[in-house]
Chain A
């Protein structure tokens, strides 16, 4: 285990205790496929179970249509699940007051341009959670907001700037300050650096890691960028068409991925190493359509290692000491060969 990823021992040093748990979460949406078509059900999240321990950085990776953003909103309490439950510190989210949840779980969103109200000064934006919870008076809230902004690298002179006057990286810092101003336990980051330049991304990632150490935070880090996830996450869950297909600690996932989709994803990571060319992911032309999920294993139309029964029997996420994986191949008792990380 990487010792650099452990937060400093502090007052709340129950590192490793269970903080949040999701059991068989589903979330459906009713969608009209065309103008005169009948309504269809979109299973955006289709049976996801996760655990989050204090001090973790749980990376959730997947491509478009996998349901990771919907999952983020479910875990934030912004959307009610269609079935299944989420518990926070052992208590069901639905039984908790929305404000109580807000004090413990906060988001950082992807788009720095739409995650801040363009009509407010950034100190006001950062103070919003405090205002909503009635903590302190106006002056005190402003003071706390400015202190948090300073902590994320925006000095006091920016306090009354509007978001339109800031760059993408600065806006993302404001979003982080807003998420942290109430000192939550869990921060759910939904692609926080995907819209930023590489050099700015590095700054934000460093900031997130520093703050995690200083404040003893636990992160859920959603991203499609596997290199970033490998760098920052302690555990990784891979999602495909609304389900978790593999989940284990970061080192194991990247050293020996077990699910064919994970293997393809890792092959697709283009590291800046010249001379290696572009690897063949072996996936073919089929593309995932969340509205018409395949029968059996959702990945089988694209799977290069498909077995005969993969199109009729859906695999179940099975846990073992190597981690969790939802694949029929894994039930065959042969340990697959470790795959080199950068194809």
Chain B
């Protein structure tokens, strides 16, 4: 039995609104434009997947939203709001109050994301106590409730266990429970299943999808795995060299990709039952351009089979029926 995702029209309230987000990182060789003019929205009850390869800026984007960027990074945004509240203008104190409470994040490495010196219970209850001033009894009750929700049996006993006593899959479930303690509006998951075994990965993703349906939270999931994207995303944003190059529903993207990079990426993946075994996989020639110093025009043009002289100028996002892409072509030639 599978949890088929019905493509819902975008009716939910906008939870996260990001417009023209840019992040520059200072390096000895000049500023590195890690994130360039990125815009997207995440609505209540919707999962937005940000997908891209290493160096595309997807993780930096999530850190920028959580105000967890390294010192050397500067963030600029036209608009950066959570439930209408301006995150960019918020004081450090207010950002701290929002983090963990209204917006929560799950990280990639379950082995290192939990503090080995404290019990699971301590770490779970800490969020609630800190943000909502809950008593230990209340926090404990909520922790047990959430551990049950994420599928952990005998939750009461688990509270007094230490992280090293749990497997990777269980730790990830605990992390999810921790993120949900204060009923956040937005959940950001950065490669939540990448470090896990394949069978556990499926379980965790299924859990996230079920939780979203039940709690109606807005979820932003960052991954490099297009299979994950296809199965769990409502909307997808493909990032390349710091920009969003294509955005749309999962159906739109997989059935009719409009950007050459997206199509190139899809052709690289072997699909059992579809790609001929032993045949050549599609490839994308060339490499990602340097993002240090001035960057102009389409960053994919060196590698694009359809590049033209116009591609050296800045390319705006075009949009048709909620499917946006950053390319001069109306649609890709067959």
Report A-B touching, CB under 8 Å. Answer: yes
Cβ–Cβ contact B231 & A254, under 8 A: no
- Inter-chain CA distance A265–B197, complex, in Å, is 10
Residues of chain B lying within 8 A (CB to CB) of residue A232? 270, 277-278
Residues of chain B lying within 8 A (CB to CB) of residue A154? none
Cβ–Cβ contact B266 & A206, under 8 A: no
Cβ–Cβ contact B151 & A285, under 8 A: yes
Residues A272 and B198 in contact in the complex (CB < 8 Å), given A250-B277, A277-B3, A279-B2 = no
Partner of B153, one of A224, A265, A285, A341: A285
Residues of chain A lying within 8 A (CB to CB) of residue B281? 202, 205-206, 231
Cβ–Cβ contact A199 & B199, under 8 A: no
Is A291 an interface residue, CB under 8 A from the partner? no
Residues A268 and B199 in contact in the complex (CB < 8 Å), given A227-B272, A230-B272, A277-B5 = yes
Cβ–Cβ contact A272 & B271, under 8 A: yes
Is B170 an interface residue, CB under 8 A from the partner? yes
Cβ–Cβ contact B197 & A64, under 8 A: yes
Residues of chain B lying within 8 A (CB to CB) of residue A135? none
Interface residues of A in 284-336 (CB under 8 A from B): 285, 287, 289
Cβ–Cβ contact B277 & A277, under 8 A: no
CB distance from A78 to the nearest CB of B (A): 25
Residues A283 and B203 in contact in the complex (CB < 8 Å), given A271-B230, A273-B254, A278-B2 = yes
- Inter-chain CA distance A281–B224, complex, in Å, is 22
CB distance from B299 to the nearest CB of A (A): 15
Residues A224 and B254 in contact in the complex (CB < 8 Å), given A199-B284, A201-B268 = no
Q: Mark B175-203, 1 if CB is under 8 A from A, else 0.
A: 00000000000000000000001111111
Interface residues of A in 181-219 (CB under 8 A from B): 197-199, 201-203, 205-206, 209
- Inter-chain CA distance A273–B272, complex, in Å, is 11
Cβ–Cβ contact A272 & B152, under 8 A: no
Is A63 an interface residue, CB under 8 A from the partner? yes
Cβ–Cβ contact B270 & A231, under 8 A: yes
Partner of A227, one of B169, B269, B276: B269
Interface residues of B in 254-309 (CB under 8 A from A): 254-255, 264-266, 268-284, 287
Residues A275 and B4 in contact in the complex (CB < 8 Å), given A199-B265, A281-B203, A341-B272 = yes
- Looking at A167, A203, A231, A270, the one whose CB has the most chain B CB atoms below 10 A away is A270
Residues of chain A lying within 8 A (CB to CB) of residue B167? 287, 289
In chain B, what residue has the closest Cβ to A57? Answer: B278
Residues of chain B lying within 8 A (CB to CB) of residue A275? 4-5, 7, 250-251
Residues of chain A lying within 8 A (CB to CB) of residue B271? 227, 271-273
Cβ–Cβ contact A270 & B227, under 8 A: yes
Partner of B270, one of A5, A230, A264, A343: A230
Q: Chain B interface secondary structure, helix, strand, loop or mixed?
A: loop
Residues of chain B lying within 8 A (CB to CB) of residue A4? 276-279
Cβ–Cβ contact A274 & B231, under 8 A: yes
- Inter-chain CA distance A209–B3, complex, in Å, is 36
CB distance from B267 to the nearest CB of A (A): 8
Residues of chain B lying within 8 A (CB to CB) of residue A280? 1-2, 206
CB distance from B292 to the nearest CB of A (A): 16
Residues of chain B lying within 8 A (CB to CB) of residue A198? 53, 224, 226, 265, 268-269
- Inter-chain CA distance A274–B256, complex, in Å, is 12
Residues A199 and B198 in contact in the complex (CB < 8 Å), given A274-B250, A287-B167 = no
Is B228 an interface residue, CB under 8 A from the partner? yes
Is B232 an interface residue, CB under 8 A from the partner? yes
Chain A interface residue count, Cβ-Cβ cutoff 8 angstroms: 50
Cβ–Cβ contact B4 & A276, under 8 A: yes
Partner of A268, one of B4, B53, B202, B275: B202
Cβ–Cβ contact B268 & A199, under 8 A: yes
Interface residues of B in 205-257 (CB under 8 A from A): 205-206, 209, 224-233, 250-251, 253-255
Residues of chain A lying within 8 A (CB to CB) of residue B169? 285, 287
- Looking at A250, A251, A281, the one whose CB has the most chain B CB atoms below 10 A away is A281
Is B138 an interface residue, CB under 8 A from the partner? no
Residues of chain B lying within 8 A (CB to CB) of residue A5? 277-278
Cβ–Cβ contact B231 & A276, under 8 A: yes
CB distance from B210 to the nearest CB of A (A): 9
Interface residues of B in 1-45 (CB under 8 A from A): 1-5, 7
Is A269 an interface residue, CB under 8 A from the partner? yes
Residues of chain B lying within 8 A (CB to CB) of residue A278? 2-3, 202, 205-206, 209, 231-232
Cβ–Cβ contact B199 & A277, under 8 A: no
In chain B, what residue has the closest Cβ to A206? Answer: B280
Cβ–Cβ contact B282 & A202, under 8 A: yes
Is B310 an interface residue, CB under 8 A from the partner? no
Residues A272 and B273 in contact in the complex (CB < 8 Å), given A280-B1, A281-B199, A287-B167 = no
Is A85 an interface residue, CB under 8 A from the partner? no
In chain B, what residue has the closest Cβ to A225? Answer: B198
Residues A272 and B202 in contact in the complex (CB < 8 Å), given A4-B278, A277-B4, A287-B170 = no
- Inter-chain CA distance A26–B206, complex, in Å, is 36
Is A91 an interface residue, CB under 8 A from the partner? no
- Inter-chain CA distance A202–B271, complex, in Å, is 12
Is A42 an interface residue, CB under 8 A from the partner? no
Of the A-B pairs whose beta carbons lie under 8 Å apart in the complex, a sample of 8, sorted by A's number, is A231-B277, A270-B225, A275-B250, A278-B2, A278-B202, A280-B2, A289-B167, A341-B272
